[in-house]
Amino acid sequence: MNKVDYTSTILKTLLYLSGIGLVLYIVSQVKVVIAYIIIASILSLIFRPVFDFVNEKLKLNHTLSSIFTLLLIIMIFIGIISLLIPIVLEQGKNLSLLNVNNFEIKVNALFDELSSYLSSYNIDFDNTLIDFNTLSKASIETIPQILNSIGSVLGSFTMGVLSVLFITFFFLRDSIKIEKWVILLFPSKVQKRANKSVSEIKNLLSRYFRGLIIQISILFVFYTILLLIFKVEDAVVIAFLCALLNLIPYIGPIIGLVLMTFLTMTSNLGLDFSSVIVPKTIYIGIGYIIAQLIDNFFSQPYIFSNSVKSHPLEIFIIILVGGFLFGISGMIIAIPMYTAIKVIGKVFYSENKFIKKLTKNI
């Protein structure tokens, strides 16, 4: 390689790296908008069968079919919120009637019971107790900031929901046009391959998201039965939340376990700690773990084998990258995004040995 070729290679490499850096910077600046578009894409894929049914069987045009599908999405969303509102209102009512001194006594009594129970197994719990007075003072001082934060979050959430619904409407109504626009972004000589990529991505992701719905439904039924057997209050709502948390890879099931065991303990306050609360919590924890094992060994392999078709290490790394870029939402969308990228790689760079090896199962 002569000096000119060497310099040209370095310049091309620098330009390539600069391009990647620029793309990552732009993504970081508009990641919220990108998240809205991705969520809307997911909703349009999941509810596409509803749109097709209304459009073909009921003979409604694309606009009315999109409105009908969007109303169904809104009704489902309102239904989920309506399940949560009674619990939130009840907790708010309890807080408004809360006597801080009595609450402190009850909390200290609960800690004493827990400490006494653990001491019988030579576990020192005393050093882990929190100074309740310090905590309560700090909590009172931060109430204005908390209220401001809640207002900000609610405003952002409302804006996000409206944005996603608006984008979803057009993704449903104008899906064919949007696909054509996307394909036109490619040079004419590769548009046929681009069309193939879009079709394959839609097929794989549709199966993936429908599989997730089945997975969540199975966990929801299992959790509901488990909590009803042990007479836990608000069993259906708790089961739904814990099943939904399973959408967050790795972290979600852990949060679900903590949530379920905590709510089990709080729903039985006043009963004997060692003979009632602890055994019931342990049994529910075991049931939760069994459900997760069934999910890990049966549900997930079925879903991934029919869509993602990736090595577990691949999935783990991609989820980590998604988490660093977009937080929890990034962890949720990492797998479908990676699947789409693999399909594009297979269609456009099938001659590359690395890409060929990576996408051989697709």
Write out the residue range of the structural domain in which residue 329 sits.
209-362
Alpha-carbon span 154 to 159, nearest angstrom: 9
Instruction: Summarize pLDDT for 118-169 with one digit per residue, the tens.
Output: 666 665 555 554 454 454 455 445 555 655 666 677 777 788 889 999 999 9
Residue 25 has pLDDT above 50, yes or no: yes
- Is 271 domain-assigned? yes
- Is 287 domain-assigned? yes
Q: Which of 248, 236, 240 is closest to 217 using CA atoms?
A: 240
Residue 240 has pLDDT above 50, yes or no: yes
Task: Please state the separation of Cα 9 from the chain's center in Å.
Answer: 42
**For 12-16, 204-208, 215-219, which range has the lowest pLDDT when averaged over its residues?**
12-16
For residues 175-200, give the mean pLDDT.
Answer: 82
CA distances (Å), 362 to each of 81, 271, 343, 350, in order?
A: 38, 55, 7, 12
Task: Please state the separation of Cα 78 from the chain's center in Å.
Answer: 18
Q: How many domains, in total, are found in the chain?
A: 1
Instruction: Summarize pLDDT for 66-88 with one digit per residue, the tens.
Output: 999 999 999 988 887 877 776 66
Residue 95 has pLDDT above 70, yes or no: no
Q: What is the pLDDT of residue 287?
A: 92
Instruction: Summarize pLDDT for 264-276 with one digit per residue, the tens.
Output: 777 666 666 667 7
- Is 191 domain-assigned? no
Residue that wins the pLDDT comparison between 197 and 310 = 197
Identify the sign of the CA torsion 167, 173, 176, 180.
Answer: negative
Tokens 């852990």, residue located? 254
Alpha-carbon span 250 to 292, nearest angstrom: 11
Q: What is the pLDDT of residue 213?
A: 85
Residue 216 has pLDDT above 70, yes or no: yes
Instruction: Summarize pLDDT for 249-269 with one digit per residue, the tens.
Output: 888 899 999 888 887 777 666
Residue 175 has pLDDT above 80, yes or no: yes
Residue that wins the pLDDT comparison between 151 and 234 = 234
Alpha-carbon span 10 to 309, nearest angstrom: 36
- Is 68 domain-assigned? no
- Residues with Cβ within 8 Å of residue 239, at least 6 apart in sequence: 220, 223, 224, 226, 227
- Is 285 domain-assigned? yes
3-state helix, strand, coil in the chain (%, to 5): 85, 0, 15
Intra-chain end-to-end CA distance of the chain, in Å: 38
Q: Which of 193, 235, 172 is closest to 344 using CA atoms?
A: 193
- Is 49 domain-assigned? no
- Is 340 domain-assigned? yes
Tokens 């003072």, residue located? 137
Q: What is the pLDDT of residue 98?
A: 46
- Is 323 domain-assigned? yes
Rounded to the nearest 10°, the torsion over CA 26, 32, 37, 40 is: 170
